[in-house]
């Protein structure tokens, strides 16, 4: 659509996207924080876009596992990146859909006329996840800090038991159910009849597509190189999770992780813990034209949805996608590419099954199923299983990847979906023209 406004709102352009390489936690970015990674990608995005920082009205950034010393990550990114201190910034979190949320929040500000230029994105360092103390130790530390003499400071620790001194690692589990995402994916595989072979095939295709994309240079313009501080002797130039040499045979030999006896979810058909950051440059269509930018694409519609986390935790995309398509005035047959976050291959297969199911559509309250997704247009340059999944950054990665591939193929529309903890789901419809 050529109109500057849709439904009375300004049209939002995605001008450019950029990300760091995604690295398996504990590897090349192990010494960096989420703030380090967020700062780097925002600085580089501004420089590569040749954007005057004074044009930026707002920064919306997110993180899922918070940095306890810098919880307001968006504002800290502005300051650490050396952007003008007057720039408004706020932090968002929507689990694995966090940078979809940051994009939508920034886009809403632009659509309503509250901003012209917004940087949106997310960052995550699973290498730097916070380690908690037990509640008794925390209380003892707080009481000790108030002591005025050494005996006073030591007294609160005298009642502690040995178990109180054991660190409490963060758990990627649902607070409401106690189930981890992996356990939930395993349950979905069983309830939906998703075979181990299908899961391994999804993982294999992810690695093959990502390896091909890297080999053909498709990521060269959207993945920055990082010289790793503090010595700057090591550099990260590409994702270190992609396995070009993987095979279905190799994947089939991996043992199940969450249900060792009857399960089918393995380390090979699930996304790994990952460090990385990604950012998007958003503008009103009018502002982009005034500054001489050719947008990668435009946000046509979006939807968020939720389902019972005790049921099918990662089925949110199947609830969000029909709403986003309806808001866009489109059908699945109008979509040229589909990008679906690969938290687990079982989750991808379950959502694809649900989108095509009349029974699911009836259960969810939709008039008809969305339809069967053509696997040849799904995650054509790889997904989270092969590229990695820094929780706060994945959405922005998907949007950038999708729009660049649309341009490369001279196609016009893409639907992106992300499942998220809490039974949440997100879907966005993007278009080039």
CB–CB of 277/122 below 8 Å?
A: yes
Class of residue 317 by CB neighbours under 10 A (exposed 0-12, middle 13-18, buried 19+)? buried
Gap between the Cα atoms of 126 and 273, Å rounded: 6
User: 175: how many CB neighbours lie within 10 A of its CB?
Assistant: 9
| Candidate list 207, 302, 389, 416, residue with the active-site label | 389
Taking the alpha carbons at both ends of the chain, their separation in whole angstroms is 6
The residues with which 62 forms a beta bridge, in sequence order, are 92, 122
Q: Among residues 241, 234, 243, which one has the least CA distance to residue 29? A: 234
How far is the C-alpha of 258 from the C-alpha of 174, rounded, in Å?
A: 15
419 is catalytic: yes
Question: Quick check: 18 and 122 in contact, CB under 8 A?
Answer: no
In whole angstroms, what is the distance from residue 53 CA to residue 351 CA?
41
DSSP-derived 3-state class of residue 61: strand
| Distance separating alpha carbons of residues 270 and 172, to the nearest angstrom | 14
Taking phi over 0 as left and psi of -120 to 50 as alpha, with beta for the rest, 298 belongs to beta
One of 96, 207, 341, 416 is an active-site residue; which one?
96
Q: Is 389 a catalytic residue?
A: yes
Dihedral (C-alpha) 38, 41, 47, 49: value to the nearest 10 degrees? -110
**What residues act catalytically?**
96, 389, 419
């Amino acid at each position: 659509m050529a109109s500057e406004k849709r439904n009375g709102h300004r049209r939002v352009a995605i001008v450019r996207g950029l990300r760091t390489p995604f690295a398996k936690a504990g590897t090349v970015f192990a010494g960096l924080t989420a703030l380090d990674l967020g700062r780097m990608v925002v600085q580089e995005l501004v420089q590569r876009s040749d954007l005057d920082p004074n044009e930026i009205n707002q920064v919306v950034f997110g993180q899922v596992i918070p940095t306890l010393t810098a919880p307001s990550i968006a504002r800290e990114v502005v300051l650490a990146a050396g952007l003008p201190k007057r720039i408004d910034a706020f932090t968002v979190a929507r689990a694995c859909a966090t940078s979809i949320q940051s994009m939508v929040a920034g886009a809403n500000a632009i659509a309503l006329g509250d901003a012209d230029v917004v940087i949106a994105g997310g960052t995550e360092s699973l290498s730097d996840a916070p380690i908690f103390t037990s509640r008794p130790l925390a209380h003892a530390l707080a009481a000790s800090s108030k002591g005025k003499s050494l005996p006073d400071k030591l007294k609160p620790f005298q009642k502690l038991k040995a178990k109180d001194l054991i660190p409490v690692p963060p758990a990627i589990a649902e607070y409401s159910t106690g189930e981890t995402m992996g356990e939930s994916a395993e349950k979905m595989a069983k309830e939906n009849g998703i075979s181990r072979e299908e899961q391994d095939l999804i993982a294999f295709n992810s690695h093959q597509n990502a390896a091909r994309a890297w080999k053909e240079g498709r990521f060269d313009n959207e993945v920055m190189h990082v010289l790793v501080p503090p010595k700057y002797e090591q550099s990260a130039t590409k994702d270190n999770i992609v396995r070009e040499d993987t095979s279905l045979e190799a994947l089939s030999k991996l043992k199940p992780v969450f249900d060792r006896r009857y399960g089918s979810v393995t380390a090979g058909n699930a996304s790994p813990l990952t460090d990385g950051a990604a950012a998007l440059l958003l503008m009103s269509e009018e502002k982009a034209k005034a500054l001489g930018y050719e947008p990668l694409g435009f946000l046509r519609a979006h939807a968020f949805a939720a389902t019972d986390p005790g049921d099918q935790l990662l089925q949110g995309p199947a609830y969000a996608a029909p709403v986003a398509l309806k808001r866009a005035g489109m059908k699945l047959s109008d979509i040229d590419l589909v990008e679906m976050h690969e938290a687990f291959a079982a989750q991808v297969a379950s959502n694809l099954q649900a989108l095509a199911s009349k029974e699911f559509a009836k259960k969810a309250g939709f008039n008809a199923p969305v339809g069967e997704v053509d696997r040849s247009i799904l995650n054509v340059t790889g997904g989270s299983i092969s590229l990695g999944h820094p929780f706060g950054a994945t959405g922005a990665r998907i949007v950038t990847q999708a729009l660049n591939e649309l341009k490369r193929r001279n196609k016009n529309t893409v639907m992106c979906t992300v499942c998220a903890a809490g039974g949440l789901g997100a879907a966005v419809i993007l278009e080039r023209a």
